[in-house]
C-alpha cells in the first residue's frame, strides 16, 4: 500500500471522528482545530470535480455522509424531511399543496420534474427509489386535504390568494406572482395547458425578511433583505432554482 493511500486512510479516520463528534462532515477549509483536515476535505471535493478521486474513495466518503457541495446539503436536508413524512404517513406521496410543509411539497414536485426531463442525478434518483418515492401522479387528485384521501373536485380555475408565491412551471423554472388577477404570460400558458390547474408553489414570507445565501460549508453567508413585495432578489431566486426551496431566513 502506498504512503499516499495510508495518508488518505488516516485523514478519512480523522473525518470519521469529526462526524462522530459533530454529526456531520462539513469541515470548514480554515478550521482552526485541525487545518490539515479542513484542507483535505476541500481537496477531496476538488479531486472529485476534476475526475482524480477514485470511485472507491467517493463511495466511502458518500457513505459517511460527505457533502460534495452546498446544493447537496440542501438536497439531503429535504430528503430527510421526506423520510420523516414517510415515517409518519407511510408514503412519500406528499400532497401538492400541503399546508403543513409547502416547501417539501414543492421539492417533491421538483424531483418529479427533474426526473421527467432527465436532469435528476442518478444517485439522487436511486435514493428516492429506495425510499419508495412516488414518481407517477397522473390520474391522482392534485389537491388533498388529508394524506391519502382525495379532495372534492376543484372548479375549472381557482384564483390564487393575494400573496407572493413562486410557482413551479417546469424543472428549475419558477414564476413569481402576487395573487393579482393579471397573471404572468408563462403562468397563464401553464394553466391553459393543465385544465385550469395552477402549478405547485412556494409561499413567500409576508413582510420584510432577511435571507442568508452563501456557502454553507465554509460558514460564510450573505444576508439579503427583501421587503416582502416585488421581485425576489436575483441570488435568492437563483438559490430556489437550484435547490427547490427557499434559502435560510428569519
Handedness of CA 84, 87, 88, 92 (dihedral sign): positive
Q: Is the confidence at residue 85, as pLDDT, over 80?
A: yes
Domain final residue, candidates 22, 47, 63: 63
Residue whose C-alpha cell is 395547458:
193
Cell of 8: 488518505
> Residue 199's pLDDT is what?
79
Choose the weakest-confidence range: 60-64, 127-131, 167-171, 208-212: 167-171
> Residue 111's pLDDT is what?
86
- What percent of the chain clears pLDDT 90, i.e. is strictly above it? 18
Please check whether residues 97 and 51 belong to one and the same domain: no
Question: Is 159 within a domain?
Answer: no
Give the separation between CA 82 and CA 121, rounded to whole angstroms.
17
Q: Is the confidence at residue 5, as pLDDT, over 60?
A: no
Q: Is the confidence at residue 11, as pLDDT, over 90?
A: yes
Question: Is 115 within a domain?
Answer: yes
Do residues 143 and 151 make contact, with C-beta atoms less than 8 angstroms apart?
A: yes
Cell of 101: 410543509
Question: Is 184 within a domain?
Answer: yes
Please check whether residues 101 and 125 belong to one and the same domain: yes
Question: Is 149 within a domain?
Answer: no
Q: Phi, psi at residue 171, to the nearest 5°?
A: -55, 115
Q: Is the confidence at residue 191, as pLDDT, over 60?
A: yes
Give the separation between CA 164 and CA 229, rounded to whole angstroms.
7
**221 CB-near residues (< 8 Å, 6+ apart):** 212, 213, 214, 215, 248
Please check whether residues 59 and 101 belong to one and the same domain: no
Do residues 230 and 212 make contact, with C-beta atoms less than 8 angstroms apart?
A: no
Q: Which domain holds residue 175?
A: 165-243
Question: Is 141 within a domain?
Answer: no
Residue whose C-alpha cell is 438536497:
75
Question: Is 139 within a domain?
Answer: no
pLDDT tier, 9 (very low <50, low <70, confident <90, very high otherwise): very high
> Residue 145's pLDDT is what?
43
pLDDT tier, 97 (very low <50, low <70, confident <90, very high otherwise): confident
For residue range 102-155, what is the model confidence (pLDDT) as tens digits? 888 888 888 887 787 777 888 888 889 998 998 876 544 444 445 544 333 333
User: What is the average pLDDT score of the chain?
Assistant: 79
Question: Is 81 within a domain?
Answer: yes
> Residue 1's pLDDT is what?
41
Give the separation between CA 151 and CA 138, rounded to whole angstroms.
16
Q: What is the mean pLDDT of residues 82-98?
A: 88
Strands 209-215 and 173-177: unpaired
Please check whether residues 99 and 50 belong to one and the same domain: no
Domain final residue, candidates 37, 63, 89: 63
**Selection from 136, 145, 194, 144 nearest residue 169 by Cα:** 194
Q: How many CA atoms lie within 13 A of 150 on its CB side?
A: 7
Number of structural domains the chain divides into: 3
For residue range 12-57, what is the model confidence (pLDDT) as tens digits? 999 999 999 888 887 877 778 888 998 899 889 888 888 899 999 9
Q: Is the confidence at residue 81, as pLDDT, over 70?
A: yes
Amino acid at each position: 500500500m502506498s504512503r499516499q493511500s495510508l495518508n488518505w486512510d488516516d485523514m478519512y479516520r480523522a473525518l470519521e471522528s469529526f462526524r462522530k463528534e459533530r454529526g456531520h462532515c462539513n469541515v470548514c477549509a480554515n478550521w482552526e482545530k485541525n487545518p490539515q483536515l479542513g484542507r483535505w476535505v476541500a481537496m477531496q471535493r476538488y479531486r472529485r470535480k476534476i475526475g482524480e478521486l477514485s470511485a472507491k474513495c467517493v463511495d466511502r466518503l458518500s457513505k459517511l455522509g460527505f457533502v460534495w457541495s452546498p446544493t447537496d446539503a440542501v438536497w439531503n436536508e429535504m430528503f430527510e424531511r421526506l423520510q420523516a413524512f414517510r415515517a409518519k404517513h407511510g408514503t412519500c406521496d406528499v400532497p401538492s399543496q400541503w399546508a403543513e410543509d409547502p416547501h417539501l411539497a414543492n421539492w417533491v414536485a421538483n424531483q418529479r420534474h427533474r426526473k421527467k426531463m432527465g436532469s435528476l442525478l442518478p444517485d439522487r434518483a436511486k435514493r428516492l427509489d429506495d425510499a419508495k418515492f412516488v414518481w407517477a401522479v397522473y390520474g391522482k387528485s392534485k389537491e388533498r386535504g388529508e394524506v391519502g384521501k382525495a379532495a372534492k373536485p376543484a372548479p375549472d380555475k381557482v384564483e390564487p390568494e393575494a400573496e407572493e408565491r413562486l410557482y413551479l412551471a417546469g424543472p428549475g423554472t419558477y414564476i413569481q406572482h402576487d395573487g393579482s388577477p393579471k397573471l404572468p404570460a408563462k403562468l397563464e400558458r401553464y394553466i391553459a395547458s393543465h385544465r385550469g390547474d395552477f402549478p405547485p408553489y412556494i409561499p413567500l414570507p409576508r413582510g420584510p425578511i432577511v435571507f442568508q445565501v452563501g456557502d454553507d460549508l465554509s460558514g460564510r453567508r450573505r444576508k439579503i433583505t427583501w421587503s416582502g413585495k416585488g421581485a425576489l432578489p436575483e441570488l435568492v431566486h437563483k438559490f430556489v432554482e437550484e435547490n427547490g426551496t427557499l434559502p435560510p431566513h428569519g
